[in-house]
Structure 1
Amino acid sequence: MKVAVTGVGGGVGQSILKALQPTSHEMVGIDGDLLATGLYGVSSAYQGYYANTDKFLPFLEKVCDQEKVEVLFPGLDAELPYLAGSKSWLEKKTGTQVVVSSPSVVDIADDKLLTYEFLEKNGFPALETYKVQDYDDQLDFPVVVKPCQGGARSVGKKVIKDPATLEEFKKIPQAQNYVVQEYSTGKEYTCGTLFLDDFIGAIIMTRQLRCGDTYKAFVVQDEKIQDYLQEVIQVLNPWGPCNVQLRLKDGVPYIFEFNARCSGTTASRALAGFNEPLMVCDYLQGENIVFNIKEMAILRYWSELTVSYNQIEEMKLNRYLENQKNHLGGN
């Protein structure tokens, strides 16, 4: 299949590309940044436009139609609301299957308060969460404050240990966009799930973080968490990959974040036998979905991609490159 991936300058987009590189699928990279690494690691690439511009969707339509793209994976959170709202339109115009969930699922995943309300409403364990302006000493300290919407890589997250510090925090202008959440010290898990009109499966990993990103990952088998993920995801009803962050508190899994997309650890999961982009492609081609998860440690590291100045100038001039031979992960 011909597969387009957006946001290939970031970790999610690049991880999708790396998961599909060893397969027979042909990839098209799209990103608004001229120097987005993934643009120079695929056979065909386009410098597109950012999601908040009026050129974003028309340009995607043009690329999908021109390249006869069969599947489109978004690689940036900022694109999800636009693609979710335009999914039917884009699919009808181009015949491209857009791997994105419904607007309601995207909204829940992007909003910490909506995540809490979804879990509470459906009887799932949830870490108590309040808007900062509505908070009135409901929780014991320490508490966590974090952006209500659009948070990534733990940016803006703070642990506050006493009421006085919280009162000072509430005075800053940005506080109105934050939530106060119950603090949990339990072991943290990052979980990849796949739902394609039914629950396909999940991979469970513990991790070590560096600057908010997964730096080392450890694949584990846990039947209790696996069953719980299936139960929650069947109610949430996403379409495609959905990343789930949770902590175990007194042996009970508490989800504190959904990401309604592929993850930055998609390529790592593929190495462990759970290749979400490949399974989506298999499903769309009517093939049986088979996976075999292997317990292992995954140690991530930087890798270099050399790009000629001529390639960059050509991309700058034409917003397009083709017949490239580079691959992410080194030449």
Structure 2
Amino acid sequence: MGVALEIHACDLNPDLSAACALADASFAAPRCTDDGYIPLLRKYTRENGIGLIVPTIDTELQPLADARPDFSAQGTYVHVSSPQVIDIVRDKKRTMDVLAEAGVPVPRTARLEDFRRDPAGWDWPLFVKPVSGSASRGVELVQDIKALDREFDEPMLVQELLRGDEYTINLFVDEDGVMQAAIPHLRISIRAGEVEKGRTVRRDDFEAIARNLAAAMPGARGVLCFQVFDDPVLGPRVIEINARFGGGYPLADQAGGHFAENVLRQAMGEPLVNCADWRDGVTMLRYDNAVFV
């Protein structure tokens, strides 16, 4: 882009963070749920001339979305959707309800307490997962109702079992709320909820789902991603949305998505580049690496 850029990273313990070791500068920050998190970020960004903040975990989306106008007032663009969008995507049951109302295909879903009151008419086995989980945490396949006759540590959902291939669709929505591109990839191999091997796939039905999904999210902005199971009987079904860069985004970028570049351009007030001219069949094979300090 012909622009000098610096990457500043923060972590609870930056001395033991690979990302902080690779960044141009780093600093310690409290948990994003701490009352001091946003004030510290505002002070740091103001004193260091930071023009863009990019959240990377689900739990920091809400505080950053709420504080977005305050950062904007001091010249810092926060890459996050509206608080309304974050409210929706952090509650998987509400996500399913909002999408279903907009005509986006989703699996049958119920809160565990509602399912226990009326379990009739469900086909076993079923999925059970946290209402606000991420990275496949707490997801279980249960074979009968006895498996649900226990206490869980957090609110849970029951969802019909979906079969078939799983896909991630990365999409970019501009500041006017218009989806500029959607890039699906097949999740060939998964580890700890992240795609380990993937391949871009061009499908018109996925793009149509992505457009409907983006339109259903009031104030969706920037890069988002969502997961789809292509069930051989039911067809594609959306199971969750991440209102941030997903772990598999580098595959979309390598395929020609230019989403990250457009986030930078939005922060700098520059015109966006075309991000819809991407390559089908690009494969990503990941491996572990080490950072030495």
1:147 aligns with 2:130: yes
With over 3 angstroms needed to count, the CA separation of the structure-2 counterparts of 1:23 and 1:140, relative to structure 1, is farther
With over 3 angstroms needed to count, the CA separation of the structure-2 counterparts of 1:95 and 1:23, relative to structure 1, is closer
1:91 Cα deviation from its structure 2 partner: 1.7
1:186 Cα deviation from its structure 2 partner: 2.5
Q: Give the TM-score of the pair, scaled to structure 2.
A: 0.90
CA distance in 2, matches of 1:95, 1:123: 38
1:279 aligns with 2:262: yes
1:216 aligns with 2:216: no
* Structure 2 residue runs without a partner (length 5+): none
In the other structure, the counterpart of 1:107 is: 87
2:146 to 152, 159, 164: 164
Give a deviation string over 1:245-267, Cα, whole Å, max 9, x none. Answer: 01123373211100011111222
CA distance in 1, matches of 2:56, 2:86: 14
In the other structure, the counterpart of 1:293 is: 278
CA distance in 2, matches of 1:293, 1:251: 28
Q: Please show how residues 247-286 of structure 1 align to structure 2 within 5 Å.
A: 247-249=229-231, 250=233, 252-284=235-267, 285-286=269-270
Question: Which amino acid counterpart does residue 163 of structure 1 have in structure 2?
Answer: I
1:36 to 2, 12, 17: 17
CA distance in 1, matches of 2:273, 2:141: 42
The answer (yes or no) to whether the contact 2:251–2:282 under 8 Å persists in 1 is: no
Give a deviation string over 1:135-164, Cα, whole Å, max 9, x none. Answer: 021411111000011x12211101111233
Larger CA deviation: 193-202 vs 270-279:
270-279
Question: Which amino acid counterpart does residue 36 of structure 1 have in structure 2?
Answer: S
Question: Which amino acid counterpart does residue 80 of structure 1 have in structure 2?
Answer: L
1:199 to 152, 172, 179: 179
How many residues in Structure 1 have an aligned counterpart in Structure 2? 281
- SS of the counterpart of 1:26? coil
The answer (yes or no) to whether the contact 2:171–2:223 under 8 Å persists in 1 is: yes
Q: Percent of aligned positions with the same letter in both sequences?
A: 26
In the other structure, the counterpart of 1:12 is: none
Question: Which amino acid counterpart does residue 242 of structure 2 have in structure 1?
Answer: N
Q: Give the TM-score of the pair, scaled to structure 1.
A: 0.80
1:24 Cα deviation from its structure 2 partner: 4.9
Runs of 4+ in 1 over 4 A off after TM superposition: none
CA distance in 1, matches of 2:274, 2:102: 30
In the other structure, the counterpart of 1:47 is: 28
The answer (yes or no) to whether the contact 1:143–1:181 under 8 Å persists in 2 is: yes
Question: Which amino acid counterpart does residue 172 of structure 1 have in structure 2?
Answer: E
- SS of the counterpart of 1:224? helix
CA distance in 2, matches of 1:188, 1:131: 23
1:233 aligns with 2:214: yes
- SS of the counterpart of 1:279? helix
- SS of the counterpart of 2:171? strand
With over 3 angstroms needed to count, the CA separation of the structure-2 counterparts of 1:220 and 1:88, relative to structure 1, is same
With over 3 angstroms needed to count, the CA separation of the structure-2 counterparts of 1:24 and 1:221, relative to structure 1, is farther
